[in-house]
Amino acid sequence: MLFQIAFAACADYLSAMPNNDPDARCRLYLVTPPALDPTSFADDLAAALDAGDVACVQLRLKDAGDDEIRAAIEVLMPVTQEYDVAFLVNDRPDLAAEMGCDGVHVGQEDASYAEARRLMGDDAIVGVTCHNSYHLAIEAAEAGADYVAFGAFFGTTTKDPKTRAEVGLLEAWSQATTVPCVAIGGITPENCGPLVRTGADFLAVVSAVWAHPQGPSAAVKAFNKAINNAFEA
């Protein structure tokens, strides 16, 4: 019950909170590494969530089979539930719905928003990749997406980005709409300040957390400190 209440609050935050609210706080959106062993990664995930504020975790296993994804969900979703953090799956609304996940993130070449919403239901979180396109974001928002994701903002080794986004896109979006936006692509504690100040509601991060030399706990602490510093600057 506690998780259901916390998740409802998170869903409300994602879908309803104006992202130009001066009291809004940018939050972390953790994306898993592209390959992982669920049992050993669970410890890293718990350490990250225990270290500070995290809004949600996205399981992103692009090259894994269905059973591998199911196994990862079975191990990792309970970890996020323990910390009242929403658990999303990348690309696969069918598996996310089957396994009772909190939401799904779909790209432009994955399942459509309409299909994801049909499978997930009205109460789940559905986010959409919009690259560097204001037009795609408007389409997703008008369709009912809970958030839109822009990027890549910086160079990244996680994947070969299809587009590069400019910081001004976040500012334009935050001034024009109340639909939350996620910034992604090469984001670190050192470079995230302009993204926070110009309107990102969430920072999606991968290697900057999981490959941090002092571990994921130190990374989450560094990100939350950088976010706070950006607001105070």
Residue range 178-229, pLDDT digits in tens: 999 999 999 999 999 999 999 999 999 999 999 999 999 999 999 999 999 9
**CATH classification of the domain holding 199:** 3.20.20.70
**CA atoms of 134 and 179, how far apart (whole Å):** 12
Question: Is there a domain that residue 18 lies in?
Answer: no
Question: Is there a domain that residue 43 lies in?
Answer: yes
Domain count, the chain: 1
Domain holding 43, by residue range, is 2-12+25-232
State pTM to two decimals.
0.90
Helix, strand, coil percentages, rounded to 5, for the chain: 45, 15, 40
Question: Is there a domain that residue 167 lies in?
Answer: yes
